[in-house]
Structure 1
Amino acid sequence: MAASTMTGFTAFVMGSKPNSFLLARRSGGPVGFRFIKTQQRGQRGSATRRCGTRCEAATDVAVKDASASRASSLTALEQFKAAGSDRYMKERSSIAVIGLSVHTAPVEMREKLAIPEAQWSRAVGELCNLNHIEEAAVLSTCNRMEIYVVALSWHRGIREVMEWMSKTSGIPVSELRDHLFMLRDSDATRHLFEVAAGLDSLVLGEGQILAQVKQVVKIGQASGGLGKNIDRLFKDAISTGKKVRTETSISSGAVSVSSAAVELALMKLPESHALSARMLLIGAGKMGKLVIKHLAAKGCKRVVVVNRSSENVDAIREELKDIEIIYRPLTEILSSAAEADVVFTSTASETPLFLKEQVESLPPASQSAGGLRLFIDISVPRNVGSCVSDVESARLYNVDDLKEVVEANKEDRLRKAMEAQAIIIQELRSFDAWRDSLETVPTIKKLRSYAERIKSAELEKCIQKIDENALTKKSRRAIEDLASGVVNKLLHGPLQHLRCDGSDSRTLDETLANMYALNRMFGLDTVKAILEQKIKAKVEKSQN
């Protein structure tokens, strides 16, 4: 790259001009831009002076601001054109995932980063307002907190997301780095497909994660927060998850986190009295319902459920007839725990429901349960304070302790995972081909529009040369069909070479080379026009 060009573009990117919209090169495909408006009072005055005498005469502050913004818009466009920007267009934005899971971080870390479902839309909005993030989605469960983004710049985008995570959780970035994983493009896509298929779960093939992935799409559609790439990514992940479960036996014998919690409780209780132990469940949501279902499947006959209201408990009671379900209000949580040998907690509470002092005040568990009260906490954030583990008469287990249960039948699970991987690879190719095909769509549209304009102009000339009385409707239609046929046949070859949908052996690089060649030959300027449109859109958004 010529030194002069690099210097000009670098100066522009680094924001040597105050109050300019900084352009950041994105990695992985055709370039795109995000904009950072650095507001300095002195610059507003200079922008106003550039607007001319009429602006100087205006006294309305809003008029001055609007004029300054228009000047900034023009300045950004002119600088963009002069900065050798075409050198940076042969890249595209990256799909990335950054997050942590039960495989990379302890529950203490995951609970600080957990985002309640009700706040997903807000989080997505904040992420999309970051300077180098186009689209975003949040997947936060008891076992993972993952952020999926379309980043205009891989390095800048990841840095901004990490800083956002640090700000949200209060954990320094330096500490976060030890637990985060970051994946890009095909690796990020594959990861989400594996998550939806249950391959990345603590319990292989668990079904609840697929429902949680579906919820991301549902919430995103309701809030309008999902962009084109993320929307397609999650929908294809859902389709892959369903296909894996339909075409393999990965779900047979697989257990959910809730059933693993039940298994763990029964393992820790004396075998002869496990089913007669007094069971208490705090929370009657989806996870809680599964706990009751698995208790019933193991032969447990009675469970007490503490919940804010009786509505969910009544619904569960109607569905599960093989187990006695007793409802208690939240105000009776301590008295109910005093009568229980095993306490399962599964609520969305962001503060602990049980602390050391409260558990110490409870009477001992029954001797049939070994005299120890078990707390099985499958909530994130945790519902039982870690200090409870210091109580001699109690034993505390959280979601990380479920690994003990799921280690069984490891070889069989690995075999099922291999079967699922073959399906995932096929679906990954399909998604990559779809995303690659997006690169050439603007050029295809503009080339067709260019050809149609020529056809229409030449048809008009031809029609004018023919005597109107001699030109019947049939003749006119025949001439128009002839013109359309010629245009279509001439376009067929170029458009074929703009395809990159996996239907032939052409690579994305070859297709992009064809696209740039056609842009030069026909003067379409497609990529630059799209980028200028993005700049204008960002300027307008900043004004609002």
Structure 2
Amino acid sequence: MAVASGFVSSVAELKTKMESTSLVHGVTSASSSSVACFPSQVRNLCKSSKIKLKVPERGAFGLSIRCEVNSDTLVRNDEIGSKASSLSALQLLKTSAGDRYTKERSSLLVIGLNVHTAPVEIREKLSIPEAQWPQAIGEICALNHIEEAAVLSTCNRMEIYVVALSQHRGVKEVTEWMSKISGVSVSDLCRHRFLLNNKDATRHLFEVSAGLDSVVLGEGQILAQVKHVVKSGQGVQGFGRKISGLFKHALTVGKRVRTETNISAGSVSVSSAAVELALMKLPTYSCTTARVLVVGAGKMGKLVIKHLVAKGCTKMVVVNRTEDRVAALREELKDVEIVYQPLTELLACTAEADVVFTSTASETPLFLKENVQTLPPVNSQVGGRRLFIDISVPRNVGSCVSDLETACVYNVDDLKDVVAANKEDRLLKAMEAKAIIPEEVKQFEAWKDSLETVPTIKKLRAYAERIRASELDKCLSKMDVDISKTKKKAIYDLSVGIVNKLLHGPMQHLRCDGTDNRTLSEILENMHALNRIFGLETEISMLEEKIRAKMDQSQK
């Protein structure tokens, strides 16, 4: 009786600890297999004691624990009772933390906000400059349940792609990280974010790369931004095999869609839409006479200038930190008068402009209400209000500027009206493009799933090699000490040959290189069968190792 009571009290103590720490350790968000979440030591102890452990119910704190003790198990060896008592409930809970998600496969996830789900006021707070993407990858991969990561941050979206060891925990950790770096509350992020996993996440990135998820359907700049993700991720720890493979395949999809559907023909980019918006807001007769200021001569600024020239603008002022890029534009556009001014002359140049385009990477507004309200009014022939077209994220023009009667402010979210003009033609091309996406998703998923067989192949070969080496040592120990090197090599070669011959069949059935007619499901079936037959437990043990390594790293 003393033994059983000692064990039951230990379980009771464990339950109390689990209830008091459930919010910290995530008991309430455990997987549906409640027994898998319960400490392995307690399960083993119950098994050895012939005690039935039942965890079928969920109480206010997550798990409701119930033990059934048979009458013939009440008298047991004192050693079992002392073992149960010596392991405190808290110790059991800590040592089992890595076990909770070992039944769960790693997931490919995208957690993001874009122009369709969140306003620019939220997106700009989450914006990450391209130069900081590697640092962001490192911070995300330092989270307990994140193995690989990539960041895609543009004027229309901020999306984080990860390989998560636990889907639920991974989403939670990334969302909290996004809140920490942006100052946006978790509740606000949850209201505006979108979550996609595995095939849906793959499909989404392919559609993004193809220009099917852009405000301007078919626009080409997003493909270059996806390319920058791959370029900036090279050599960065955390931009791993699955994530890099995903983005490289997305580049292939984007190129294929544009080649086969011609979706980008006749479509407008964000910069050209900004010019179109300005022309829509200006009186017809002022389109070629309005005084134009372009702030920023980067990629977007350069495109704005080119689109202005295409619309008949022959003179403009460009404000930039350095003159190099402006000088290059002068060489390229020799028939256009482009006047360079440094950033220190920004307000003076704005005072003489009717239309101001902004496209810089500044993380703080360049124009505030107090700056703009002191500027002289514009010519009544251009509408009487100074026009600000801000295509930067974060925004270069403070939202308070729009309160002024002398100014009119538009940002990237206001470009939708321009895009609607030729939307029908592009929608027809988009339908053709969308037919390509499922094919590419299927190809990528087959490649990704084929990676699952690699650990099994390695573990099976290591298993066979251990047996071969052991049996070879036994054989040589029974032979004469002075056996010749030639005979030793012959015996060694024989053992290697036998192992290779025996492994050839299983290895062939795990190959995913398309050299045979086996389907992916058949190959994965073979993998699971070999795991069971040889006790490799590849998927579970590897995931457990990764989680434990992450936990150990975070505790240092």
Same fold (TM over 0.5): yes
1:230 aligns with 2:234: no
Equivalent residue number for residue 321 of structure 1:
334
Within the candidate set 395, 398, 401, 2:408 is matched to 395
Matched residue type, 2:510? L
Whether contact under 8 Å (1:27, 1:92) holds in the other structure is: no
Q: Deviations over 1:98-128 (max 9, x none)?
A: 1111111111111122222233233222222
Equivalent residue number for residue 446 of structure 1:
459
Matched residue type, 2:307? H
Alignment of 1:85-124 (within 5 A): 89-124=102-137
The verdict on how the C-alpha distance between 1:167 and 1:454 changes in structure 2, with shifts beyond 3 A counting, is: closer
CA distance in 2, matches of 1:202, 1:25: 39
Equivalent residue number for residue 64 of structure 1:
none
Equivalent residue number for residue 524 of structure 1:
536
**Secondary structure of residue in 1 paired with 2:144:** coil
Within the candidate set 337, 344, 357, 1:344 is matched to 357
Matched residue type, 1:152? L
**Secondary structure of residue in 2 paired with 1:251:** coil
1:341 deviates by 1.2
Within the candidate set 150, 157, 166, 1:144 is matched to 157
Q: Deviations over 1:438-470 (max 9, x none)?
A: 212111122233344555677789999999xxx
Equivalent residue number for residue 36 of structure 1:
none
The verdict on how the C-alpha distance between 1:13 and 1:422 changes in structure 2, with shifts beyond 3 A counting, is: farther
Matched residue type, 2:167? W
Identity, in percent, stands at 66
Matched residue type, 1:523? G
Whether contact under 8 Å (1:344, 1:377) holds in the other structure is: yes
1:244 deviates by 1.7
Whether contact under 8 Å (2:446, 2:520) holds in the other structure is: no
CA distance in 1, matches of 2:251, 2:422: 26
- C-alpha root-mean-square deviation of aligned residues, in Å? 3.8
1:496 deviates by 3.9
Equivalent residue number for residue 507 of structure 2:
495
1:273 deviates by 2.4
Whether contact under 8 Å (2:273, 2:419) holds in the other structure is: yes
Alignment of 1:284-433 (within 5 A): 284-433=297-446
Q: Deviations over 1:357-388 (max 9, x none)?
A: 32222222224323332110101111112222
**Secondary structure of residue in 2 paired with 1:408:** helix
1:259 deviates by 0.8
Equivalent residue number for residue 201 of structure 2:
188
Whether contact under 8 Å (2:165, 2:543) holds in the other structure is: no
**Secondary structure of residue in 2 paired with 1:375:** strand
1:249 deviates by 0.2
Alignment of 1:479-494 (within 5 A): 487-488=499-500, 490-494=502-506
Aligned length: 490
1:392 deviates by 2.0
Alignment of 1:11-160 (within 5 A): 79=95, 89-160=102-173
Matched residue type, 1:522? F
Equivalent residue number for residue 289 of structure 2:
276
Matched residue type, 1:96? L
Within the candidate set 207, 211, 216, 2:224 is matched to 211
Whether contact under 8 Å (2:138, 2:237) holds in the other structure is: no
Q: Deviations over 1:119-138 (max 9, x none)?
A: 32332222222222222222
The verdict on how the C-alpha distance between 1:251 and 1:158 changes in structure 2, with shifts beyond 3 A counting, is: same
The verdict on how the C-alpha distance between 1:93 and 1:524 changes in structure 2, with shifts beyond 3 A counting, is: closer
CA distance in 1, matches of 2:544, 2:102: 12
The verdict on how the C-alpha distance between 1:317 and 1:27 changes in structure 2, with shifts beyond 3 A counting, is: farther
CA distance in 2, matches of 1:162, 1:270: 46
Matched residue type, 1:324? E
Whether contact under 8 Å (2:101, 2:166) holds in the other structure is: no
Whether contact under 8 Å (1:27, 1:93) holds in the other structure is: no
Alignment of 1:237-276 (within 5 A): 237-276=250-289
1:487 deviates by 4.6
Matched residue type, 2:527? M
Matched residue type, 1:250? I
Whether contact under 8 Å (1:27, 1:152) holds in the other structure is: no
Query: TM-score, normalization: structure 1?
Result: 0.78
Whether contact under 8 Å (1:15, 1:22) holds in the other structure is: no
The verdict on how the C-alpha distance between 1:191 and 1:535 changes in structure 2, with shifts beyond 3 A counting, is: closer
Matched residue type, 2:175? M
Whether contact under 8 Å (1:217, 1:235) holds in the other structure is: yes
Matched residue type, 1:117? E
Equivalent residue number for residue 526 of structure 2:
514
Whether contact under 8 Å (1:26, 1:153) holds in the other structure is: no
Equivalent residue number for residue 191 of structure 2:
178
Q: Deviations over 1:71-120 (max 9, x none)?
A: 9xxx8999559x9x5x9655311111111111111111111222222332
The verdict on how the C-alpha distance between 1:200 and 1:76 changes in structure 2, with shifts beyond 3 A counting, is: farther
The verdict on how the C-alpha distance between 1:496 and 1:12 changes in structure 2, with shifts beyond 3 A counting, is: farther
CA distance in 2, matches of 1:421, 1:481: 55
Larger mean Cα displacement after TM superposition, 217-226 or 384-393: 217-226
**Secondary structure of residue in 2 paired with 1:325:** strand
**Secondary structure of residue in 1 paired with 2:243:** helix
Matched residue type, 1:173? V
Equivalent residue number for residue 62 of structure 1:
none
Matched residue type, 2:139? E
Whether contact under 8 Å (2:102, 2:541) holds in the other structure is: no
Matched residue type, 1:178? R
CA distance in 1, matches of 2:101, 2:361: 46
CA distance in 2, matches of 1:230, 1:27: 28
CA distance in 2, matches of 1:321, 1:15: 74
1:189 deviates by 0.9
Structure 1 unaligned regions, length at least 5: 33-70
CA distance in 1, matches of 2:336, 2:200: 45
1:484 deviates by 6.3
1:13 deviates by 11
1:151 deviates by 1.6
